[in-house]
Structure 1
Amino acid sequence: MRWRLKPETNPEITLKLAQELGIESTLAKLLVQRGIETFEQAKAFFRPSLEDLHNPFLMKDMDKAVERIETAISNGENILVYGDYDVDGTTSVSLLSSYLKTIHPTIATYIPDRYEEGYGVSFQGIDFAEDNDVSLIIALDCGIKAIDKVIYAKEKGIDFIICDHHRPGNEIPDAVAVLDPKREDCEYPYKELCGCGVGFKLIQALASKRGETIDDLIPYLDLVAIAIAADIVPITGENRVLAYFGLQIINKNPRTGIKAMIHQIEKNELTITDVVFIIAPRINAAGRIKHGNYAVELLTEIDFDTAVKFASEIEKNNNDRKDLDKTITNEALQQIEDNNEQQNFSTVVYAETWHKGVIGIVASRLIENYYKPTLVFTKSGDKLAASARSVKGFDVYNALEQCAEFIEQFGGHKYAAGLTLTEENYPKFKAKFEEVVKETLPEELRTPEISIDTEINLSEISPKFFRIMNQLAPFGPQNLRPVFMASGLRDNGYGKKVGADQTHLKLSIFEGTNQSTYNAIGFSMGDKYELIQKGNSFKAAFNIDENHWNGNTSLQLMIKDIQEG
């Protein structure tokens, strides 16, 4: 792995901030690295406030969206809340539909079938709206490229409001309102909202017209926090405020469906990391294995016993998803080996029997093995569908744009995208994508990188240091949990490989002449054992976390990599 130490911060600013806050210079340095240079900025960062949220009417077309919804309510129209089948989509639909139901009786929801309809707004969904006398569709987490679908709906007398956060194409759909902070003509101050975040801004705008305040909307923030965590958007600015208060709701007074999920996993307090790895996969599993409607039913259910039944079903879906994920990953790895493609610059694999619901997860697993921009294809109707995942620093969306001649349709982000193409174009696409990656992926991005915030002496690590550092949370993209490095380390002789297959490394380390020892664990790092044997000096990159064992709590270093030195 490549170690990259972040640039040094301005020493005068760092020292001044440390003195004003009464904290160690290492902690002040972490703040300055995150763009926090003054006492006032630090106060706002450590004490997020809902007052820091932007006026929703700064978003282009927000006034039009609110006016159309108010008209629909006044006229007693049927409204359909439409969203994608992933976590961001299902939480968005749950959020907006549950809010609208408090002010209007005829609200329906629609999640497209992953297999029959695919991603985004579908003709089938519009036909459903027509059959149910719906005159307004509000699309969430999708729709920014649904040019033809909006025209189709208009021909049937159905209006569209689009709430999306994906990058628009050259043309904006001719909807009543298109809310998307990534529109070039949108001056909304914060561009990194997830789909559910855009949905929240819509209910914030609607609420303000009804004399409600932001405090009335706090119960909806558990959904927003889950979407922020699951969609891997930056946890900065407005997202950080929403995630901060959303986590409080999740841990203190979550909606019934989330409470039922937490009840199943028996965990007391959830962090953003827990949401990413425990809550989000379960919500996602509904859309992957069965149907995204299951997730919406769970997230909008009011009766706890009913919610527990839904949660049990989703738990089973998640276990099925894990089995599929493991099987398909093994088959994909075998295919790469059989085709002798281990040395390619990209990974592109296909089998028509692979389950469409888990190909995105499999793509991520393959990156763990080969660390290359990756696409996993499967058969979907008469087309091939793929999930794309990328490595740090490489824009897979841009790479797909350069292969557009062979693609039917695609959409997504810098690090994750989806696409469809015809089977006959698969070999041509695969060759073109390999060529694009070969030409545009810089040498340094072909090796996994550890970005290190700062070097540290182990003697600086204390419960107080950890407590203050933890106030940088919630952690996530652009505000990651700090990574430290320390040199001149030695194991006290008790270091050993652990785990059923001896793949992990457990250490008790000290630094220089300081004989105080620090417990450390390195998951999947058993192969580094020789580096720490016989009193060898080494350096380590690590996070700091708490270890809870037998009722005791202690600090522990979570080793990310070890090198000689």
Structure 2
Amino acid sequence: MRWNLAPKISEEKINALVNELTVDKTIATLLVQRGVETFQQAKDFFRPSLDDLHDPFLMKDMELAVQRIEKAVSEGENILVYGDYDVDGTTSVALMSSYLKSFYPNVATYIPDRYAEGYGVSYKGIDFAEDNDFSLIIALDCGVKAIEKVAYASEKGIDFIICDHHRPGAELPKAVAVLDPKRDDCEYPFKELCGCGVGFKLIQALASKKGQTIDDLLLYLDLVATAIGADIVPITGENRILAYFGLKVINSNPRTGYKAILRQVKKEVLTITDVVFIIGPRINAAGRMKHGNHAVTLLVETDINKAAIWAAEIEQFNQDRREADKRITIEALKQIETNNEQDCKTTVVFQEDWHKGVIGIVASRLTETYYRPTLVFTKSGDKLAASARSVTGFDVYNALEECSEFIEQFGGHKYAAGLTLDESNFENFKNKFEEVVANSIDPKLLQPELNISLQLDLADITPKFYRILKQFAPFGPGNATPVFMTSNLTETGYGKCVGEDKTHLRITVKQGIQQFVCIGFGMGDKKDIACSGQPFKAAYVIDENEWQGNVSLQLRLKDIAEQ
């Protein structure tokens, strides 16, 4: 790993904040690194306020969307809430449908089948709407590129409202309203909402017309926080506020479906990381292994006994997903080694029987292993489908755009995308993708980097320091968990590899009279450096370890290196 120590900050700014907040220099430095330089900014950061959410009507087309929904309600139309099968899509559908049903009965939901229909708005979904007399579709977390499909619906007398956060193409669909803060002509102040976040702005606008306040919508924020975490959007600005209050709801008054999930994992207080790794994968597993409808059903269920049945079913989907993910990752790694492609600037693998529902997870694992922009292909009907993942700093979406002559359709973000193509174009596409990446990627980006906030002495790590540090949460993109480094460490002599397969490292480090227990997951191969008797340096995050009712601070290692 490349260790990047954060650039030095003006002492003047740090000292000003030390005086204004009466905090120590380390805390002040971490705040300034996050753009927090005044008392007011610190107050907004540590005490997020729902009053600071933006007016939803600042979003382009919001008034049109609200008027069309009000018309549908007043005229008794049937409304279909349509969303993608991932966490962002299913939470969006649960959010919008449950809010609309709180005052209007003629509402149903639709999640496309990952295998039969694929990503986004589908012709089959529109035909379902026509066959069942739906005259308005509200599409969430998809639709901003569905030009032909929206036109097809229009011919059938079906209107569309689109709530999306993906990058639009050159042309927008001719929907009644296209809510997307990434539209060039949208002046909404915060551009990084997830799909569920855009959906929440729509219900916020509808609520304001009904005389409701933000307090009436608080209980929906658990869904928004889950989508923010799972969709890896920046936890800054409005997302920080929504995630902060959403986590409060999850931890104090979770919806019935969440209670059913949490009973299984026996977890009491959740951080945004727990939401990403506990709730997110289970919601996702339904769409990956069976159908996203199962997730929506669980999320809107109010009977705990029924929710427990749905949660148990989804837990099984999650176990199946884990097994498929593990097997396919092993097969993909073997394929790369056999083809001797480790020297390429990209990783592209294909096997026609790989489960389409887990190729995105496998792509992430391969990216972690080889640290290259990665594509994992499988057969999907008569086409090939792929999930793309990228490395920090490289825009895989733009790279795919340059290969569009060989692609049938694609969509996504800077770091994650999906595409389909004809099998006859696979080799041409693979060669072009390698060429595009090789010619445009900075070689530095092909080595994993570790961004370090500050250099500390072990004596700086006190319970008070950690208490303040915890208040920097929720952590995520744009507000990363601080990584620290300490030099001149020695191991006390009890270091060992732990875990079933001995791949984790547990050591006790010492600097002066200070000692801390450290755990390094997947770092068993670093034991020789730590236990050589020679001083070394470590990069780590600070967290808590609970054992037999005792809570103590520990260091979770990110990397260790010779001094």
- TM-score bin, normalised by smaller chain: over 0.9
1:25 match? 25
Structure 2 counterparts to residues 105-124 of structure 1, below 5 A: 105-124=105-124
Three-state SS of the structure 2 residue aligned to 1:472 is: coil
2:549 match? 551
Three-state SS of the structure 2 residue aligned to 1:535 is: coil
CA shift for structure 1 position 497: 2.1
2:468 match? 468
1:39 match? 39
CA shift for structure 1 position 244: 0.3
Between 1:470-479 and 1:255-264, the stretch displaced more is 255-264
CA distance in 1, matches of 2:317, 2:496: 37
CA distance in 2, matches of 1:216, 1:48: 18
Superposed CA offset, 1:452-497 (max 9, x none)? 0111111110110000011000000010110001111111222222
Structure 2 counterparts to residues 34-433 of structure 1, below 5 A: 34-433=34-433
Three-state SS of the structure 1 residue aligned to 2:485 is: strand
1:562 match? 560
CA distance in 2, matches of 1:270, 1:176: 39
CA shift for structure 1 position 107: 0.1
CA shift for structure 1 position 350: 0.7
The question of whether the paired residues in 2 share the 8 Å contact of 1:493 and 1:534 is answered with no
1:527 match? 525
AA aligned opposite 1:170? A
CA distance in 2, matches of 1:322, 1:492: 37
Label 1:534 to 1:320 Cα distance change in 2 as closer, same or farther (>3 A): closer
CA distance in 2, matches of 1:487, 1:15: 25
**Normalised TM-score (structure 2):** 0.99
Superposed CA offset, 1:324-353 (max 9, x none)? 001111111111122121211101111111
AA aligned opposite 1:548? E
Three-state SS of the structure 2 residue aligned to 1:375 is: strand
CA shift for structure 1 position 498: 2.0
Label 1:470 to 1:64 Cα distance change in 2 as closer, same or farther (>3 A): same
Superposed CA offset, 1:8-49 (max 9, x none)? 111111112122222211111111000000011101110001
CA distance in 1, matches of 2:334, 2:171: 42
CA distance in 2, matches of 1:264, 1:530: 39
Superposed CA offset, 1:87-145 (max 9, x none)? 00000000000000011110010000000000000000000000010110000000000
1:536 match? 534
CA shift for structure 1 position 501: 2.6
AA aligned opposite 1:81? V
Label 1:534 to 1:115 Cα distance change in 2 as closer, same or farther (>3 A): closer
Between 1:463-472 and 1:13-22, the stretch displaced more is 13-22
AA aligned opposite 2:555? L
CA shift for structure 1 position 534: 4.1
CA distance in 1, matches of 2:346, 2:159: 42
CA distance in 1, matches of 2:345, 2:531: 36
Structure 2 counterparts to residues 421-460 of structure 1, below 5 A: 421-460=421-460
2:502 match? 502
CA distance in 2, matches of 1:421, 1:539: 48
CA shift for structure 1 position 535: 2.6
Superposed CA offset, 1:392-445 (max 9, x none)? 111000000010000000000000000000000001000100111111111110
Between 1:80-89 and 1:529-538, the stretch displaced more is 529-538
The question of whether the paired residues in 2 share the 8 Å contact of 1:397 and 1:417 is answered with yes
CA shift for structure 1 position 499: 2.2
AA aligned opposite 2:465? F
AA aligned opposite 1:546? E
Three-state SS of the structure 2 residue aligned to 1:322 is: helix
Three-state SS of the structure 1 residue aligned to 2:471 is: helix
Between 1:491-500 and 1:466-475, the stretch displaced more is 491-500
CA distance in 2, matches of 1:161, 1:501: 51
Identity in percent: 69
The question of whether the paired residues in 2 share the 8 Å contact of 1:86 and 1:287 is answered with yes
Three-state SS of the structure 2 residue aligned to 1:540 is: strand
CA shift for structure 1 position 171: 0.4
CA distance in 1, matches of 2:499, 2:117: 44
CA distance in 2, matches of 1:144, 1:314: 30
CA distance in 1, matches of 2:103, 2:532: 70
Three-state SS of the structure 2 residue aligned to 1:112 is: coil
AA aligned opposite 2:17? L
2:480 match? 480
Work out which of the residue numbers 512, 515, 521 in structure 1 matches 2:513. Answer: 515
CA distance in 2, matches of 1:532, 1:152: 64
CA distance in 1, matches of 2:514, 2:58: 55
CA distance in 1, matches of 2:260, 2:239: 25
1:10 match? 10
AA aligned opposite 1:486? T
CA distance in 2, matches of 1:516, 1:44: 35
AA aligned opposite 2:517? N
RMSD: 0.8
Structure 2: which 5+ runs fail to align?
none
AA aligned opposite 2:436? V
CA distance in 2, matches of 1:417, 1:501: 33
CA shift for structure 1 position 529: 1.4
**Normalised TM-score (structure 1):** 0.99
